[in-house]
């Protein structure tokens, strides 16, 4: 049973560039959430996708955007990269949204993004 | 709004001694609470979850947590620490929108 997989594992970019990170959810899951974890901090919620639409969004600028495909996989895009975007980006998957807040999310190992 | 506060940024114990990682929560309704562990350069692994079925929750690797509504706490414990327990631990509350709010984390060091 494949868990949540993310690619690439590491990425180095320069300021102003654009980046795309990818995530495949755990088998049987249909909801994908993205988190940013800066060094020494807890993960911060970016947004959540369900049925190919952004359903919830945290306090992140429009430079952060995403997409979900019919097979439930997802992409996170960040435009006009800043030094402060350097972080570990985590993808999490779950089944359904909203009413069932009891179920935990399953996390991938993340993509380490470094901005020079 | 739902949030959690982890009271210790760093906890150090000796191998074989008990572990206590403290977490207080804030929620306007009955919360769903979780503990996750993160080993270096790894993603997050679920240790246990509280979903109102029982106040004492048992998780993996010998960890357990007790939900205390009167104290708004959800502390994580383990009777005997193992070297492999050294990691970062996060207390998490799940909002009604199913987006998770993480604490700042507690780094657990286990000395031989």
pLDDT for A100 equals 55
* Segments of B3-55 assigned E as strands: 3-6, 10-14, 19-21, 23-26, 32-38, 44-50
pLDDT for B43 equals 83
Mean pLDDT by 10 residues, chain B (112 residues): 92 98 89 91 88 87 94 96 96 81 95 96
- Is B9 in CB contact (< 8 Å) with chain A? no
* Segments of B1-112 assigned E as strands: 3-6, 10-14, 19-21, 23-26, 32-38, 44-50, 56-58, 64-68, 73-78, 87-94, 100-102, 106-111
pLDDT for A16 equals 97
CATH topology for A5-115 is Immunoglobulin-like (2.60.40)
pLDDT for A1 equals 61
CA dist B7 → A46, A86, B14, B43 (Å): 25, 27, 20, 22
Residue A54 CA, distance from chain mean position = 12
CB contacts under 8 A, B 21-60 vs A, are 32, 34, 36, 41-46, 49, 51
Please give the domain boundaries of chain B with CATH numbers for all domains: 3-111 (2.60.40.10)
Query: For an interface test with B, which of A43, A46, A88 has the most B Cβ atoms less than 10 Å from its Cβ?
Result: A43
Sign of CA dihedral A39, B73, A60, A27: positive
pLDDT for B59 equals 94
Low-confidence ranges of chain A (pLDDT < 50): none
Q: What are the extents of the domains in chain A?
A: 5-115
Residue A83 distance to chain B (closest CA, Å): 20
Cβ atoms of A99 and A87 within 8 Å: the answer is no
- Is A36 in CB contact (< 8 Å) with chain B? no
CA dist B29 → A71, B52, B90, B93 (Å): 35, 11, 21, 11
Structure tokens belonging to residue A26: 């755990």
Structure tokens belonging to residue B88: 């970062």
């Amino acid at each position: 049973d494949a868990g949540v997989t993310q690619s690439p594992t590491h990425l180095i970019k320069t300021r102003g560039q654009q980046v795309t990170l990818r995530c495949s959810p755990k088998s049987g899951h249909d909801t994908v959430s993205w988190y940013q974890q800066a060094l020494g901090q807890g993960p911060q919620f970016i947004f959540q996708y369900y049925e190919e639409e952004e359903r919830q969004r945290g306090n992140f600028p429009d430079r952060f955007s995403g997409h979900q495909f019919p097979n439930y996989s997802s992409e996170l895009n960040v435009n006009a990269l800043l030094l402060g975007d350097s972080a570990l980006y985590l993808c999490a998957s779950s089944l359904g949204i909203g009413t069932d807040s009891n179920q935990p999310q399953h996390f991938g190992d993340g993509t380490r993004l470094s901005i020079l | 709004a739902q949030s959690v506060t982890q009271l210790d940024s760093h906890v150090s114990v000796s191998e074989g001694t008990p572990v206590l990682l403290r977490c207080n929560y804030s929620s306007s309704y009955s919360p769903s609470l979780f503990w996750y562990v993160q080993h270096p350069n790894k993603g997050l692994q679920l240790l246990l979850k509280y979903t109102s079925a029982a106040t004492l929750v048992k998780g993996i690797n010998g960890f357990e947590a007790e939900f205390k509504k009167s104290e708004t706490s959800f502390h994580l414990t383990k009777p005997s620490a193992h070297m492999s327990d050294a990691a970062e631990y996060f207390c998490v509350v799940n909002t009604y929108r199913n987006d998770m709010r993480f604490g700042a984390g507690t780094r657990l060091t286990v000395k031989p």
